[in-house]
Amino acid sequence: MKETTPSAMPPCFDRWCRRFDDVFSHQAQKTGFKHYLGGLLGESERKNLTQMSRDCIGVTYNRLHHFLTEAPWNAQQVNQRRLQVMQQCRQTHISRGFTLIIDDSGHRKSGNLTAGVGRQYIGEIGKTDNGVVVVTTHLYDGVKSLPLDVELYQHAHSLPQGKENPEFIKKPDIAIKLIDKCLERKERPAVVLIDAGYGNNSRFLQELEKRKLTYVGGLAKNRKVVCQIEPERQPEELKLSELAKRLPAEALSAITLNREKPRTVWVATITVEFSTMSGPKTVAIVMNAPTCSTATEVDYLVTNAASERATASWIVTTYSQRNWVEVFYREAKGWLGLKEYQIRGKRSLYRHLILVFCAYTFIIWHQLTGGLRRQWANQPLTTFTEALSAFRTAISYRFFGWLQENRDLFTLYKASLGFVWA
C-alpha cells in the first residue's frame, strides 16, 4: 500500500532524523526534512513532490516545495552531519584504507530551464541526449558502499556565456574539488578509481599525484605510450591497441574476478611512460579471451602504484570495485528517485541530491547495525534492496495500525483526491 502518514513511521526513523535537528534553525525545516525523507523511502512508484505529498496523509505540496526550494538551510551541513553520523558508530565508521571512486552519472531531462541541462553524453542510455549530469565521490571499504559528495556539472549549453561563463567547470576540475573535500575531512583513500573519461586527462592524473594519491584508471585504446616490448629493442611510441596486438600469448595470465557472476579475464602488465607525464606507470591490458585476435572486449588500465604492488591480479581486482558506484546509482535511481524531481534551480537540485544521499545512508546504517533485521525480517539483510523492503514492511505494519484508529480521517483524505472509500 503506497499511502502512509508521518505518524506511522517507525521509531528508528524519528531517532535518525533527530540527529540532524541542530542543522536546521526552525521546526518547520525539521518537519520538512522528515517528510521528504519519508517520501523518498516510501512505496510510491514516483518520487516527485506532487506524488510524495499525495501519498502521505498530512503532508502538503506547498510546504514540501518550500522546504526544498526556499527554506534557509544548508545542504552541505546536512551532508556533513550525515557523514559524522556514520563515523560515530563502530559498525558504520569509515575504515582506513578505503577505496575512493570518482564517477559521473546522467539522466534524461527535457526542456532547457533546469540547471545544468544540455545535450551531452548520458551514461545510463549510452548515447548523447538532453539531460543532467552530476559528479560524485563514492566510498567502498570492503563492507559498505556509500556516497560521499556530489556536484552538479553545468553544461556549457546551460550557461548564458557557454564555456566563457565563470560558472563553467570541467568534470575533472569538479572531481578534484570533491577529492579535496574528502582530504579536508582527514579521509585519505588507499586508492582512487576513475574511468577512462578521467584517466585520459593527464592534468587530472598529475593533480592526483600532487596529492600523493595512488590511482587505477581506465585509458582509451588510442592513447600513446612509450614502452620497450622486447629487451633487445629500443623503446618505441605506439597506441595501446597496437601494443595489445604485439604482446606474446605467454604475457597474458588468467584471473578470475569474484563478482555477482564470477568472470575470468586475461591480463598482461607492462611498464610504460607518457609524453605528458613524468615517471614510469604500469599499464594492464585486460581481455575477455586468451588472445587479442579472439577477444571481443579489451580494456586498458593505468596505475602509478609501485611496481611490486601493481601486479595484474591487484590491478584488475582493485578496479573491479568501481562497480559499486554503478550499483549505488541503480539503487538510488530505481528506489529513491534520484532523477525524479520537480525543481529547476541549482540549489534546489543539490538539496534533492543530498536528501537522496541521506535516505540511502539511513538504510545502510540500519542494515549494518542490525536494527531492521531484529524487528522486521526473519532472514539476513545482505543488500540495500532487502533492507529497504524490511523498512517498508515496518511502515506498512504501523500504517495499518494507524488506519484502525483513524478510518474517518483516511476517508476524508481519499475524498479530497476524488475517490470513494468504502
- Report residue 141's pLDDT band, with 50, 70 and 90 as the boundaries: very high
User: Would you place residue 421 in the very low, low, confident or very high pLDDT band (cuts 50, 70, 90)?
Assistant: low
Q: Calculate mean pLDDT across residues 113-129.
A: 89
Question: Looking at the predicted structure, is the pLDDT value of residue 393 above 60?
Answer: yes
Whether the CA torsion 345, 146, 138, 260 is positive or negative: it is negative
Is it the case that residue 231 has pLDDT exceeding 80?
Answer: no
Determine the CATH number of domain 86-327.
Answer: 3.90.350
Whether pLDDT at 422 is above 60:
no
Alpha carbon distance 31, 66 (integer Å): 12
The residue among 260 and 266 whose pLDDT is bigger is 266
C-alpha 302/C-alpha 261 separation (Å) is: 25
Q: Are 182 and 148 in contact (CB under 8 A)?
A: yes
In this prediction, residue 391 carries a pLDDT of 92
Task: Summarize pLDDT for 306-338 with one digit per residue, the tens.
Answer: 989 999 999 999 999 999 999 999 999 999 999
Is 86's pLDDT higher than 80?
yes
Confidence band of 113 (pLDDT split at 50, 70, 90): confident
Handedness of CA 322, 323, 324, 329 (dihedral sign): positive
Whole-angstrom distance, CA of residue 229 vs CA of residue 275? 17
Of residues 136 and 340, the one with the higher pLDDT is 136
Q: Taking all residues of the chain, what is their mean pLDDT, rounded to a whole number? A: 91
The larger pLDDT score, comparing residue 270 to residue 46, is at 270
**Boundaries of every domain in the chain:** 6-73+370-416, 86-327
Note the pLDDT of residue 56: 86
pTM: 0.93
